[in-house]
Amino acid sequence: MESMDPETLLTCEQFQSYHKEKCIRDLVRDRRLRLKMYRSVVLGNELVDWLILVGLARDRSEALRYGRRLVNGRLLRHVKNEYHFHDRPFFYTFKPAAQGARNSDTTNSV
């Protein structure tokens, strides 16, 4: 965390403290893609829409930068760690609230 740039650190701290819980309530759910079930995921493009709706970003490019700061700060990650944050229907998961908590963002075969 010490090596993180100040803007990313501030964004992640504020999101964690004030916005993460509402974001999870509003957007996170289990989703199916082909034969796989992805637990507790959010779509990148839906998160972009939400960031604009709640006033954390003015437009899609600003929301994209915000989402990338969440990834850089390790609050958010692509389910397979293949992509950075994109304004596309890619699946992302949030870091669990407690370090010792069971990791609910794993991919399960159906």
Under DSSP, is residue 53 helix (H, G, I), strand (E, B) or coil?
Answer: helix
Q: What is the pLDDT of residue 96?
A: 84
Q: Which amino acid is at 84?
A: H
CATH for 6-96, among 3.40.50.10860, 3.40.50.300, 3.30.1330.10, 1.10.10.10? 1.10.10.10
DSSP for residue 105: -
Bridge partners, residue 32, by sequence: 37
C-alpha to C-alpha distance for 77 and 6, rounded to whole angstroms: 20
**Chain position carrying tokens 């079930």:** 37
For residue 100, pLDDT over 70 is answered with no
The full set of domain ranges for the chain reads 6-96
At 8-56, the pLDDT tens digits run 999 999 999 999 999 999 999 999 999 999 999 999 999 999 999 999 9
Distances in Å between the alpha carbon of 100 and those of 10, 11, 24, 70, 104? 24, 24, 19, 21, 12
